[in-house]
Protein backbone atom coordinates (compact mmCIF):
# COMPACT_ATOMS: atom_id res chain seq x y z
CA UNK A 1 0.00 0.00 0.00
CA UNK A 2 1.27 3.50 -0.81
CA UNK A 3 1.79 5.55 2.33
CA UNK A 4 1.19 9.25 2.15
CA UNK A 5 2.22 9.89 5.73
CA UNK A 6 4.63 8.83 8.43
CA UNK A 7 4.29 8.81 12.22
CA UNK A 8 5.39 12.46 12.16
CA UNK A 9 2.96 13.81 9.53
CA UNK A 10 0.55 16.51 10.69
CA UNK A 11 -2.85 17.15 9.12
CA UNK A 12 -5.47 19.83 9.67
CA UNK A 13 -8.87 18.52 10.71
CA UNK A 14 -11.80 20.75 11.70
CA UNK A 15 -9.66 23.42 13.36
CA UNK A 16 -7.11 21.10 14.95
CA UNK A 17 -3.57 20.13 14.01
CA UNK A 18 -3.18 16.43 14.65
CA UNK A 19 -0.97 13.55 13.65
CA UNK A 20 -2.21 11.91 10.45
CA UNK A 21 -2.10 8.56 12.22
CA UNK A 22 -4.50 9.88 14.89
CA UNK A 23 -7.00 11.50 12.47
CA UNK A 24 -10.40 9.83 12.74
CA UNK A 25 -13.66 10.15 10.93
CA UNK A 26 -17.03 8.48 11.29
CA UNK A 27 -17.83 5.37 9.28
CA UNK A 28 -21.36 6.86 8.98
CA UNK A 29 -20.10 9.85 6.97
CA UNK A 30 -22.37 10.46 3.99
CA UNK A 31 -19.21 11.00 1.92
CA UNK A 32 -17.96 7.46 2.53
CA UNK A 33 -21.29 5.97 1.50
CA UNK A 34 -22.30 8.16 -1.42
CA UNK A 35 -19.23 10.08 -2.59
CA UNK A 36 -20.49 13.42 -1.25
CA UNK A 37 -17.19 15.22 -0.90
CA UNK A 38 -15.24 17.86 -2.76
CA UNK A 39 -11.51 18.26 -2.92
CA UNK A 40 -8.62 20.05 -4.57
CA UNK A 41 -5.16 19.14 -5.73
CA UNK A 42 -2.65 21.98 -5.47
CA UNK A 43 1.07 21.97 -6.03
CA UNK A 44 3.45 24.10 -4.06
CA UNK A 45 6.82 24.86 -5.58
CA UNK A 46 9.88 26.12 -3.76
CA UNK A 47 10.80 29.65 -4.75
CA UNK A 48 13.74 31.30 -2.95
CA UNK A 49 13.51 28.73 -0.17
CA UNK A 50 9.80 29.40 0.42
CA UNK A 51 6.70 27.44 -0.52
CA UNK A 52 4.63 29.02 -3.28
CA UNK A 53 1.18 27.56 -3.99
CA UNK A 54 0.67 27.65 -7.73
CA UNK A 55 -2.60 29.56 -8.29
CA UNK A 56 -3.46 28.44 -4.78
CA UNK A 57 -6.24 30.92 -4.05
CA UNK A 58 -8.05 30.00 -7.27
CA UNK A 59 -7.89 26.33 -6.30
CA UNK A 60 -9.41 27.19 -2.91
CA UNK A 61 -12.11 29.23 -4.65
CA UNK A 62 -12.84 26.30 -6.93
CA UNK A 63 -13.34 24.13 -3.85
CA UNK A 64 -15.80 26.65 -2.41
CA UNK A 65 -17.60 26.57 -5.79
CA UNK A 66 -17.58 22.75 -5.82
CA UNK A 67 -19.00 22.55 -2.28
CA UNK A 68 -21.78 24.98 -3.19
CA UNK A 69 -22.55 23.05 -6.39
CA UNK A 70 -23.41 19.87 -4.46
CA UNK A 71 -24.88 21.42 -1.32
CA UNK A 72 -22.04 20.84 1.13
CA UNK A 73 -22.31 23.58 3.76
CA UNK A 74 -18.76 24.88 3.79
CA UNK A 75 -18.29 28.44 4.97
CA UNK A 76 -14.54 29.04 4.99
CA UNK A 77 -13.01 31.80 2.85
CA UNK A 78 -10.20 31.15 0.39
CA UNK A 79 -7.73 33.36 2.30
CA UNK A 80 -8.24 31.37 5.50
CA UNK A 81 -7.72 28.15 3.53
CA UNK A 82 -4.48 29.55 2.12
CA UNK A 83 -3.27 30.34 5.64
CA UNK A 84 -4.00 26.76 6.69
CA UNK A 85 -2.13 25.44 3.64
CA UNK A 86 0.95 27.50 4.48
CA UNK A 87 0.90 26.45 8.12
CA UNK A 88 0.43 22.83 7.04
CA UNK A 89 3.60 23.00 4.93
CA UNK A 90 5.52 24.69 7.75
CA UNK A 91 4.40 22.13 10.32
CA UNK A 92 5.44 19.31 8.00
CA UNK A 93 8.71 21.10 7.05
CA UNK A 94 8.06 20.70 3.34
CA UNK A 95 8.04 23.28 0.55
CA UNK A 96 7.63 21.39 -2.74
CA UNK A 97 4.45 19.38 -2.17
CA UNK A 98 1.05 18.31 -3.32
CA UNK A 99 -1.68 19.72 -1.10
CA UNK A 100 -5.04 18.03 -0.72
CA UNK A 101 -7.90 19.92 0.95
CA UNK A 102 -11.11 17.89 1.38
CA UNK A 103 -14.61 18.84 2.47
CA UNK A 104 -16.71 15.91 3.56
CA UNK A 105 -20.06 15.29 5.16
CA UNK A 106 -20.88 14.38 8.73
CA UNK A 107 -22.73 11.15 9.61
CA UNK A 108 -25.93 10.92 7.62
CA UNK A 109 -27.55 8.19 5.55
CA UNK A 110 -30.34 10.09 3.86
CA UNK A 111 -30.15 11.27 0.26
CA UNK A 112 -30.26 14.94 1.10
CA UNK A 113 -27.80 17.77 1.48
CA UNK A 114 -25.83 17.38 4.71
CA UNK A 115 -26.36 19.80 7.56
CA UNK A 116 -22.70 19.85 8.48
CA UNK A 117 -19.44 19.65 6.62
CA UNK A 118 -15.99 18.80 7.88
CA UNK A 119 -12.70 20.08 6.55
CA UNK A 120 -9.39 18.30 6.27
CA UNK A 121 -6.12 19.33 4.65
CA UNK A 122 -3.03 17.20 4.17
CA UNK A 123 0.08 17.33 2.02
CA UNK A 124 2.78 15.02 0.78
CA UNK A 125 5.86 15.15 -1.40
CA UNK A 126 4.82 14.02 -4.86
CA UNK A 127 6.99 13.99 -7.93
CA UNK A 128 5.62 14.30 -11.44
CA UNK A 129 2.64 11.95 -11.80
CA UNK A 130 3.56 10.44 -15.13
CA UNK A 131 7.27 11.19 -14.97
CA UNK A 132 9.14 12.74 -17.88
CA UNK A 133 8.47 9.86 -20.19
CA UNK A 134 5.84 10.26 -22.87
CA UNK A 135 2.38 8.92 -22.13
CA UNK A 136 0.70 6.10 -24.01
CA UNK A 137 -3.02 6.76 -24.08
CA UNK A 138 -5.95 4.54 -24.93
CA UNK A 139 -9.47 5.60 -25.79
CA UNK A 140 -11.55 4.43 -22.86
CA UNK A 141 -14.75 2.42 -23.09
CA UNK A 142 -15.85 4.45 -20.03
CA UNK A 143 -17.52 7.68 -21.15
CA UNK A 144 -17.45 10.82 -19.01
CA UNK A 145 -20.44 11.39 -16.76
CA UNK A 146 -23.05 13.44 -18.62
CA UNK A 147 -23.40 17.08 -17.44
CA UNK A 148 -27.12 16.49 -17.00
CA UNK A 149 -26.28 13.76 -14.47
CA UNK A 150 -23.67 15.52 -12.33
CA UNK A 151 -22.07 18.92 -11.72
CA UNK A 152 -19.35 18.45 -14.33
CA UNK A 153 -17.31 21.51 -13.36
CA UNK A 154 -17.21 20.67 -9.65
CA UNK A 155 -14.41 18.50 -8.29
CA UNK A 156 -16.55 15.96 -6.47
CA UNK A 157 -15.25 12.76 -4.84
CA UNK A 158 -17.94 10.55 -6.35
CA UNK A 159 -17.12 11.65 -9.91
CA UNK A 160 -13.77 9.93 -9.59
CA UNK A 161 -15.25 6.43 -9.65
CA UNK A 162 -15.64 7.09 -13.37
CA UNK A 163 -11.97 8.19 -13.59
CA UNK A 164 -10.77 5.14 -11.64
CA UNK A 165 -12.68 2.76 -13.91
CA UNK A 166 -11.25 4.46 -17.00
CA UNK A 167 -7.63 4.64 -15.75
CA UNK A 168 -7.50 1.08 -14.43
CA UNK A 169 -9.08 -0.32 -17.58
CA UNK A 170 -6.46 1.46 -19.73
CA UNK A 171 -3.64 0.26 -17.45
CA UNK A 172 -4.95 -3.31 -17.57
CA UNK A 173 -4.36 -3.15 -21.34
CA UNK A 174 -0.80 -1.85 -20.90
CA UNK A 175 -1.44 1.87 -21.44
CA UNK A 176 -0.51 4.70 -19.07
CA UNK A 177 -3.85 6.50 -18.98
CA UNK A 178 -7.30 6.73 -20.52
CA UNK A 179 -8.58 9.34 -22.93
CA UNK A 180 -12.30 9.56 -22.26
CA UNK A 181 -15.06 10.56 -24.64
CA UNK A 182 -18.23 12.39 -23.76
CA UNK A 183 -21.56 10.61 -24.26
CA UNK A 184 -21.77 11.96 -27.83
CA UNK A 185 -18.41 10.44 -28.74
CA UNK A 186 -16.31 13.60 -28.74
CA UNK A 187 -13.04 13.85 -26.84
CA UNK A 188 -13.54 15.00 -23.25
CA UNK A 189 -10.41 14.57 -21.12
CA UNK A 190 -8.05 12.09 -19.50
CA UNK A 191 -8.89 10.39 -16.20
CA UNK A 192 -7.34 13.26 -14.22
CA UNK A 193 -6.10 15.82 -16.73
CA UNK A 194 -7.21 17.97 -19.66
CA UNK A 195 -6.13 17.26 -23.22
CA UNK A 196 -4.70 19.28 -26.13
CA UNK A 197 -3.71 18.41 -29.69
CA UNK A 198 -1.56 20.29 -32.20
CA UNK A 199 -2.42 20.38 -35.90
CA UNK A 200 -0.69 22.58 -38.50
CA UNK A 201 0.63 25.01 -35.89
CA UNK A 202 -2.72 25.45 -34.11
CA UNK A 203 -3.72 23.93 -30.77
CA UNK A 204 -7.14 22.43 -30.12
CA UNK A 205 -8.72 21.48 -26.81
CA UNK A 206 -12.24 20.33 -25.96
CA UNK A 207 -14.52 23.22 -25.08
CA UNK A 208 -16.19 23.39 -21.67
CA UNK A 209 -19.27 21.29 -21.04
CA UNK A 210 -18.07 17.74 -20.50
CA UNK A 211 -14.77 18.47 -18.74
CA UNK A 212 -13.35 19.72 -15.49
CA UNK A 213 -11.93 23.02 -16.80
CA UNK A 214 -8.60 22.80 -15.06
CA UNK A 215 -6.42 25.62 -13.85
CA UNK A 216 -3.50 24.11 -15.78
CA UNK A 217 -5.64 24.19 -18.95
CA UNK A 218 -6.29 27.86 -18.18
CA UNK A 219 -2.57 28.48 -17.59
CA UNK A 220 -1.81 26.92 -20.98
CA UNK A 221 -4.47 29.11 -22.63
CA UNK A 222 -2.89 32.17 -21.00
CA UNK A 223 0.65 31.16 -22.05
CA UNK A 224 -0.61 30.67 -25.62
CA UNK A 225 -2.25 34.10 -25.61
CA UNK A 226 1.03 35.65 -24.50
CA UNK A 227 3.00 33.75 -27.16
CA UNK A 228 0.40 34.37 -29.89
CA UNK A 229 -0.21 30.66 -30.35
CA UNK A 230 -3.68 30.06 -31.72
CA UNK A 231 -5.85 27.74 -29.58
CA UNK A 232 -9.31 26.61 -30.59
CA UNK A 233 -11.68 25.37 -27.90
CA UNK A 234 -14.13 23.16 -29.74
CA UNK A 235 -15.60 19.70 -30.14
CA UNK A 236 -12.91 17.23 -31.23
CA UNK A 237 -13.68 13.86 -32.81
CA UNK A 238 -11.37 10.88 -32.16
CA UNK A 239 -10.31 10.79 -35.85
CA UNK A 240 -9.02 14.36 -35.48
CA UNK A 241 -6.75 13.20 -32.66
CA UNK A 242 -5.38 10.39 -34.81
CA UNK A 243 -4.67 12.98 -37.54
CA UNK A 244 -2.97 15.43 -35.14
CA UNK A 245 0.75 16.27 -35.23
CA UNK A 246 1.22 16.02 -31.46
CA UNK A 247 -0.74 15.88 -28.23
CA UNK A 248 -0.29 16.59 -24.53
CA UNK A 249 -2.20 16.39 -21.30
CA UNK A 250 -2.28 19.03 -18.60
CA UNK A 251 -3.20 19.07 -14.92
CA UNK A 252 -1.83 20.05 -11.53
CA UNK A 253 -0.38 16.61 -10.86
CA UNK A 254 0.64 15.79 -14.45
CA UNK A 255 1.77 19.39 -15.16
CA UNK A 256 2.31 19.28 -18.96
CA UNK A 257 3.06 15.79 -20.28
CA UNK A 258 3.70 14.82 -23.87
CA UNK A 259 1.66 12.01 -25.39
CA UNK A 260 3.47 9.38 -27.40
CA UNK A 261 0.55 7.51 -28.86
CA UNK A 262 -3.19 6.95 -28.83
CA UNK A 263 -4.32 3.33 -29.14
CA UNK A 264 -0.75 2.48 -30.25
CA UNK A 265 -0.73 5.03 -33.08
CA UNK A 266 2.22 7.37 -32.53
CA UNK A 267 1.99 11.09 -33.14
CA UNK A 268 3.93 12.29 -36.18
CA UNK A 269 5.93 15.11 -34.63
CA UNK A 270 8.77 14.35 -32.23
CA UNK A 271 7.73 15.73 -28.82
CA UNK A 272 10.85 17.91 -28.64
CA UNK A 273 9.79 19.88 -31.73
CA UNK A 274 6.13 20.25 -30.77
CA UNK A 275 4.34 23.34 -29.44
CA UNK A 276 3.50 21.36 -26.30
CA UNK A 277 7.19 20.84 -25.53
CA UNK A 278 7.85 24.59 -25.59
CA UNK A 279 4.80 25.20 -23.42
CA UNK A 280 6.03 22.52 -21.02
CA UNK A 281 9.29 24.43 -20.54
CA UNK A 282 7.47 27.74 -20.09
CA UNK A 283 5.01 26.24 -17.66
CA UNK A 284 7.86 24.74 -15.67
CA UNK A 285 9.49 28.16 -15.43
CA UNK A 286 6.19 29.90 -14.61
CA UNK A 287 5.35 27.52 -11.76
CA UNK A 288 8.71 28.25 -10.20
CA UNK A 289 8.37 32.03 -10.42
CA UNK A 290 5.87 34.55 -9.14
CA UNK A 291 4.36 34.96 -12.60
CA UNK A 292 1.04 36.86 -12.56
CA UNK A 293 -2.02 35.09 -13.98
CA UNK A 294 -5.35 36.47 -15.05
CA UNK A 295 -7.66 35.21 -12.36
CA UNK A 296 -10.34 32.60 -13.06
CA UNK A 297 -13.59 33.43 -11.34
CA UNK A 298 -15.62 30.50 -10.02
CA UNK A 299 -19.30 31.25 -9.58
N1 LIG B 1 -9.72 16.92 -15.36
C2 LIG B 1 -9.84 16.08 -14.31
C3 LIG B 1 -10.86 15.00 -14.37
C4 LIG B 1 -9.02 16.23 -13.19
O5 LIG B 1 -9.13 15.41 -12.14
C6 LIG B 1 -8.05 17.27 -13.18
C7 LIG B 1 -7.14 17.43 -12.00
N8 LIG B 1 -7.72 18.30 -11.04
C9 LIG B 1 -7.96 18.11 -14.29
C10 LIG B 1 -8.81 17.90 -15.36
C11 LIG B 1 -6.95 19.23 -14.32
O12 LIG B 1 -7.32 20.24 -13.42
P13 LIG B 1 -6.22 21.21 -12.78
O14 LIG B 1 -5.39 21.69 -13.90
O15 LIG B 1 -7.01 22.30 -12.14
O16 LIG B 1 -5.45 20.40 -11.82
Instruction: Report whether residue 212 contacts ligand 1, using a CB cutoff of 6 Å.
Output: yes
Each residue's pLDDT tens digit, 94-132 = 999 999 999 999 999 999 999 999 999 999 997 665 457
pLDDT of residue 3: 82
Alpha carbon distance 291, 173 (integer Å): 40
| Residue to mutate, 207, 251, 254, ligand 1, most ligand atoms under 8 Å from C-beta | 251
Asked if pLDDT for residue 214 goes beyond 80, the answer is yes
Instruction: Give the tens place of pLDDT for each residue, 8-39.
Output: 999 999 999 999 999 999 999 999 999 999 99
Is CATH 3.20.10.10 the classification given to domain 135-287? yes
Beta carbon of 41 within 6 Å of any ligand 1 atom: yes
* pTM: predicted TM-score of the whole model, two decimal places: 0.97
What is the structure's pLDDT at 1? Answer: 62
Q: Mean pLDDT over residues 216-226, rounded?
A: 98
Active site residue 155: yes
User: Domain ranges in the chain?
Assistant: 10-124, 135-287
Please tell me which residue in 57, 128, 155, 199 is annotated as part of the active site.
155
Which CATH code fits 10-124? 3.30.470.10
Q: Is 193 in the pocket of ligand 1 (CB under 6 A)?
A: yes
Amino acid sequence: MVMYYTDETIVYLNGDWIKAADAKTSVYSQSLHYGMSVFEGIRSYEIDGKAHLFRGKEHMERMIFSAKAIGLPFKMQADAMMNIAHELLERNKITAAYIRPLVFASPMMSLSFPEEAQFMMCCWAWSKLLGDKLTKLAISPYRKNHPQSIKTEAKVGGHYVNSILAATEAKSRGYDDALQLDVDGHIAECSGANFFIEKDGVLFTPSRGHILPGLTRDSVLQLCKRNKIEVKQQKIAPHEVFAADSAFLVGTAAEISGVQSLDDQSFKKPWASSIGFNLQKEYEAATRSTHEWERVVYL
